[in-house]
């Protein structure tokens, strides 16, 4: 299920490379500089959380053949880390952009090039744990319910879904950083992105009527 890169998969602007997926609102690049940023972000988050997840899934991680889906896997940092730490589980990373490998792929990692909003290419009730982090820029406000519906579809009964999105509140910004942040926020809001989605995730899950909060 690996994908070969073709020129039409990318577009370039001001020396940066971006995805070329029609109607996808995600604005960030997918070049080597962005991969470096995503790797740094992953290890920073792991240090701050002292773990790669917060869901109570230790029983899943010790079950041979358990399946985990990393939605919006980006550079593959979280997936690779999990696949290396827990070699008995199967990790699937999904993203709209092809994965640009910069190191050896773990044995039980599989990359899937797909758009959640067009359907995750797996049968119902496939995954024991689904992890999605920092995709507030990837969906419009109107798309979040559909995205979560699709995640729920491929999650096993009794499985765990972990969503993590940031608050847009930043503190002690200097004048240059504030101008950059204001411009970036204005851009994504024009695209229909909901910067306050972190406040609505629980509501979206409660609307499913299938989840207990941990």
Give the start-to-end residue ranges of the domains of the chain: 7-208
pTM recorded for the entire structure = 0.91
pLDDT at position 103 is: 65
Q: What is the mean pLDDT of residues 71-85?
A: 96
Residue that wins the pLDDT comparison between 206 and 158: 158
Q: What is the mean pLDDT of residues 56-64?
A: 97
| DSSP H helix total and E strand total for the chain | 6, 7
Average pLDDT, the chain: 92
Residue 7 pLDDT > 80? no
Query: Would you place residue 8 in the very low, low, confident or very high pLDDT band (cuts 50, 70, 90)?
Result: confident
C-alpha angle 195-198-204 in degrees, rounded to nearest 5: 115
Rounded Cα gap, residues 88 and 172, in angstroms = 44
Residue 3 pLDDT > 70? no
Residue 1 pLDDT > 60? no
CATH class of 7-208: alpha beta
Q: What is the mean pLDDT of residues 178-187?
A: 94
Contact 56, 214 (CB under 8 A): yes
Burial class (CB in 10 A: 0-12, 13-18, 19+), 44: exposed
Query: Would you place residue 23 in the very low, low, confident or very high pLDDT band (cuts 50, 70, 90)?
Result: confident
Please write the tens of the pLDDT for every residue from 109-127: 999 999 999 999 999 999 9
- Name which of 13-22, 42-51, 145-154 the model is least confident about: 13-22
- Name which of 74-78, 100-104, 167-171, 183-187 the model is least confident about: 100-104
């Amino acid at each position: 299920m690996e994908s070969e890169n073709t020129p039409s998969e990318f577009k370039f602007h001001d020396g940066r490379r971006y995805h070329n997926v029609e109607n996808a609102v995600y604005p960030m690049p997918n070049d080597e500089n962005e991969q470096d940023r995503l790797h740094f972000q992953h290890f920073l988050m792991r240090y701050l959380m002292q773990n790669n997840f917060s869901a109570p899934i230790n029983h899943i991680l010790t079950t041979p053949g358990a399946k985990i889906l990393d939605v919006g896997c980006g550079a593959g940092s979280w997936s690779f880390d999990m696949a290396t730490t827990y070699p008995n589980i199967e990790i699937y990373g999904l993203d709209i952009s092809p994965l640009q490998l910069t190191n050896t792929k773990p044995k039980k990692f599989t990359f899937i090039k797909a758009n959640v909003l067009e359907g995750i290419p797996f049968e119902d009730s496939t995954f024991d744990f689904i992890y999605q982090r920092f995709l507030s820029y990837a969906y419009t406000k109107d798309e979040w319910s559909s995205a979560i519906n699709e995640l729920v579809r491929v999650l096993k009964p009794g499985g765990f879904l972990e969503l993590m999105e940031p608050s847009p509140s930043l503190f002690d910004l200097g004048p240059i950083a504030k101008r950059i942040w204001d411009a970036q926020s204005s851009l994504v809001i024009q695209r229909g992105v909901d910067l306050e989605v972190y406040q609505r995730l629980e509501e979206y899950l409660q609307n499913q009527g299938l989840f207990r909060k941990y």
